[in-house]
Structure 1
Amino acid sequence: MLLARGFKPIFLMNDRATKNSSLSLPLLFVRNLWSMATGTLALMILFNAIGVLRAGDRIVAQVRDFFSAPPPQPQVEPSNLIVHQVRSASELTTAVFAMEAVVPTHKDRTLGKLVVGKTSLLYTAYGEVRAGVDLSQFTASNLRTENNTLYVQLPAPKILDSKIDVNRSEVYNYNRGFLNLGPDAAAELQTLAQRETLDKIVKNACTQGVLDDANERAELVVTKILSTAGYSDVRVQTTPPDLQACQAASVGV
């Protein structure tokens, strides 16, 4: 009985320990599962945070590159480059016609219908006429490319300028007639002589083909410039001159 009494509490304690151990196993499993879930969730949050940070860095870098990108380089259209090159040759296409002429002028002094005196002036003048193609009017519409050939259509030639070289011109003779009864009109007669001389020089320049010379020079110069610039096959087409417009250029000189 003493032994039985002595062992009974021990038996009861072991039974309770077994019950406590059996109860703690599920609890331990739940705790471990919760710890694993919590750790997994923490890792997912961490990875997402890292991904967001990396994405943010990329966005920041893209924004920085966008605002710090160098400005684009200006591009030159080939047609605009050709137009500039052709226009630069304007002075080289000028044809000059020079002529010396002797022009007599006179003015009468009258009394009613009676001429009582006459003043004569003989003027020797040297004049020049400049003709050419006004390449400032040249635009991209004057260009055409076909089968690797560059076609250039030039504007029509025209009279650009005409003038009397006063340093090489002079009054050859001035005479107011008998007893100087003619009017004193030296300045008036000289201006008239210069105008008549210039008109004669322009008409002679037109009839002797100064506009054709300007066309030939323009064709030669423009072809040379574009060929030097690297265009291997260049065809320059000129516009026939208007002779009537050339003659009209002398009016109002």
Structure 2
Amino acid sequence: MAEKLSSLQPAPKISQRLPLLGAGGIVLTMAIAVIGIGQGLRTISPWLRISNGEAKAEISTLVVQQIRAVSQLTTTIFAMETVVPTSQERQWGNFTLGRTDLLYIGYGEVRAGIDLEQLNEQNIEQRGEKLIITLPPPQILDQKIDVERSRIYQYDRGFLNLGPDTAPELQSLAQRQTLAKITAAACDQGILDRANEQAEIAVGSLLRGTGYTEVEIKTSIPGICAPSTSS
């Protein structure tokens, strides 16, 4: 009986259990804290993530850039040959000593079209799958004399060549008058209206490959072209 009593160990005191309970409590508390932090991070992680958004481009900007790549769109060319007489007198006081006449046959061309550099985002409208473009007004883009096809037909300094020898000056004057005459004739023939019609076709063909099911081209009213030839 004495041996059985001696083999029995005394139960641990409460003070001895406290460290074990404290350690277990700390471990449990830490586990709860870690779980809470993990849940919190999952909640706010979308706000902490740094990423690049989807690349976007304004359709109006893309269309403007595509159209501007064409720059000046020549849609109508008016060509004409005309005869322009010029003259200059040599005077002595109120008395005319002689006169020089120069007859010039000039061939020139007038180009009309749309200056697409004037196009901006306000000219582009998107309605679902429909694209609407409002073009700038047509204008005269260029006027030129074809010197290879133009010539001096007659140069006469009059009796005894008393007229002034001013062929270069008279030819230059004749070329300026040729340009003015051809431009006025082109305007009388409605070159700007035809430029509008052709620009509508050309720009429409250019944009129908952009993926839109419908492309509408609107034209603008032409401005002043040139004085009429009747003046």
* TM-score normalised per structure 2: 0.80
5+ residue gaps, structure 2, are none
Q: Deviation of residue 119 (structure 1)?
A: 0.7
Q: Deviation of residue 183 (structure 1)?
A: 0.6
Deviations 1:46-101 (A, max 9, x none): 6479779989x99xx99x974xx5x5565221111122222234444431111111
The residue correspondences of 1:116-127 to structure 2 (distance < 5 A) are 116-127=97-108
- Identify which of 191, 194, 209 aligns with 2:190: 209
Bigger-Rg structure (1/2): 1
Q: 1:93–1:119: structure 2 CA closer, same or farther, 3 Å change rule?
A: closer
- Identify which of 73, 97, 110 aligns with 2:91: 110
Larger mean Cα displacement after TM superposition, 229-238 or 180-189: 229-238
The number of equivalent residue pairs is: 222
| Residue in structure 2 matched with residue 228 of structure 1 by the alignment | 209
Residue 145 of structure 2 aligns with an amino acid whose one-letter code is I
Q: Deviation of residue 112 (structure 1)?
A: 1.4
Deviations 1:149-172 (A, max 9, x none): 322211211111111122322222
Q: Deviation of residue 189 (structure 1)?
A: 0.4
Answer whether contact 1:93 1:221 (CA < 8 A) is retained.
no
Q: 1:43–1:86: structure 2 CA closer, same or farther, 3 Å change rule?
A: same
Instruction: Say which SS state the counterpart of residue 165 (structure 2) adopts.
Output: coil
Verify: 1:140 aligned to 2:121, yes or no.
yes
Task: Compare the two structures and name the one with the higher helix fraction.
Answer: 1
Q: Deviation of residue 199 (structure 1)?
A: 0.3
Task: Compare the two structures and name the one with the higher strand fraction.
Answer: 2
Instruction: Say which SS state the counterpart of residue 163 (structure 1) adopts.
Output: strand
Q: Deviation of residue 131 (structure 1)?
A: 0.7
Instruction: Say which SS state the counterpart of residue 168 (structure 1) adopts.
Output: coil
| Residue in structure 2 matched with residue 37 of structure 1 by the alignment | 21
CA–CA separation in structure 2 for the residues paired with 1:165 and 1:157:
23
| Residue in structure 2 matched with residue 183 of structure 1 by the alignment | 164
CA–CA separation in structure 1 for the residues paired with 2:73 and 2:61:
20
| Residue in structure 1 matched with residue 149 of structure 2 by the alignment | 168
Verify: 1:76 aligned to 2:57, yes or no.
yes
Indicate the percent of aligned positions where both proteins have the same amino acid: 42
Larger mean Cα displacement after TM superposition, 77-86 or 179-188: 77-86
5+ residue gaps, structure 1, are 1-13
CA RMSD of aligned residues (A): 3.5
* TM-score normalised per structure 1: 0.74
Residue 142 of structure 1 aligns with an amino acid whose one-letter code is N
| Residue in structure 1 matched with residue 132 of structure 2 by the alignment | 151
Q: 1:150–1:189: structure 2 CA closer, same or farther, 3 Å change rule?
A: same
Q: 1:153–1:50: structure 2 CA closer, same or farther, 3 Å change rule?
A: closer
- Identify which of 162, 180, 186 aligns with 1:199: 180
CA–CA separation in structure 2 for the residues paired with 1:142 and 1:108:
55
Q: Deviation of residue 191 (structure 1)?
A: 0.9
